[in-house]
Amino acid sequence: MTRALLPLLGVTVAVLFAASLMIGPAGLAPVQALSALIRGDALAETLVMREIRLPRAILAVLVGAALGLAGAALQGYLRNPLAEPGLIGVSGSAALGAVLALQSGFAALHVLALPGAALLGAVLAVLVILALAGPRGGSITLILAGIAVSALAGALTSLVLNLSPNPFAASEIVFWMMGSLQDRSMTHVWLAVPFIALGAMVLLAQGRKFDALTLGEDAAASMGVHLGRLRLALVLGVASMVGAATAVAGAIGFVGLVVPHILRPLVGAQPSRLLPASALGGAVLVLMADIAVRVILPTRDLKLGVLTAIVGAPLFLHLIYKTRAQGL
């Protein structure tokens, strides 16, 4: 089971990716859709496939992989199954950047204005966290700094909504914060790819250090793990992935928490093996959720983040119920 897990998840991602390309309100037949995508011979259909469905499916994979991998890495570093990507305050700060862009009208200037502002928010959060939980701080300092930054970003987001003179902007903000992959373009993909790829490379390279941390910080340090460098790599990797994911998709909760939790027993609980599995698992979950929002309520624009939370929270409760007797 454990050996076949990665190939199995990979195949599932491929199948769901194809399904995501074939499902949508334009009502294209699957064969017609794929031929329009690849051959580019039918104008309207090719436009739908290349400009709407393809970026949406790619972003679902990218965002899911980012959230799953970041969640697994944070849980491995903190040795706590309750850690999730939002913990270090990056998603909250990215959301604040996006909210300011929406409120000020800056978002309407360019397609990259909103995700750019969100990324800027994420970068500022990282700088504050690194200043607070600097080279000598431990993992507790990192959590506390993250909570403080999250709280501040949340409060400022509320302040913007509170003082918003424009109900249209306010409702736009609320809907953006629910998280969605609708109406994204290849521009969004190109913005997110470098950050998510860089973050993934940084985090995947730390696998054995997370394994060593199974024995605690002291034992890991004695086995040659430079804790300060590991924390820096973790913050930069998570921030890069989660900041980019939030910038293009908004806040999508529970993926980074639930996916590592589901997959942990299947990889023998080894943090290093959980990293790639969670990246693929996150892609599976977000692809499924993004297909579901199109199938369940095609006319009502059901938000992706709402669905992941509605499905994720009870699933998480069930997992806690099932595993509480097994000591995790």
Partner 1 sequence: MSGLALTDFSVARGPCDVLQGLSLQLGAGECVGLLGPNGAGKTTLMRAALGLMAHRGRSSLSSLPLAERAKTVAWLPQAREIAWPVTVETLIALGRLPHLGAGTRPGAEDQAAIDSAIARMGLEAFRTRIATQLSGGEQARVLIARALAQDTPMLMVDEPAAGLDPAHQITLMDVLATEARAGRMVLASMHDLGLAARYCTRVVVLSRGGIAADGPPAQVLTPDLLARVFQIRAHIADGPDGPILQPVGVV
Q: Which residues bind partner 1 (CB under 8 A)?
A: 79, 208, 211-216, 218-219, 221-226, 264, 268-271, 326-328
Which is nearer to partner 1, 159 or 223 (by Cβ)? 223
Q: Measured from the CB of residue 228, what is the shortest distance to partner 1 in angstroms? A: 11
Which is nearer to partner 1, 203 or 248 (by Cβ)? 203
Q: Measured from the CB of residue 83, what is the shortest distance to partner 1 in angstroms? A: 12
Which is nearer to partner 1, 154 or 265 (by Cβ)? 265
Which is nearer to partner 1, 215 or 297 (by Cβ)? 215
Q: Which amino acid is at 169?
A: A
Q: Measured from the CB of residue 265, what is the shortest distance to partner 1 in angstroms? A: 8
Q: Measured from the CB of residue 204, what is the shortest distance to partner 1 in angstroms? A: 11
Q: Measured from the CB of residue 6, what is the shortest distance to partner 1 in angstroms? A: 15
Which is nearer to partner 1, 33 or 274 (by Cβ)? 274
In the block, tokens 């992989």 appear at 65
- End-to-end alpha carbon distance in the chain: 20
Which is nearer to partner 1, 52 or 143 (by Cβ)? 143
Q: Measured from the CB of residue 305, what is the shortest distance to partner 1 in angstroms? A: 29
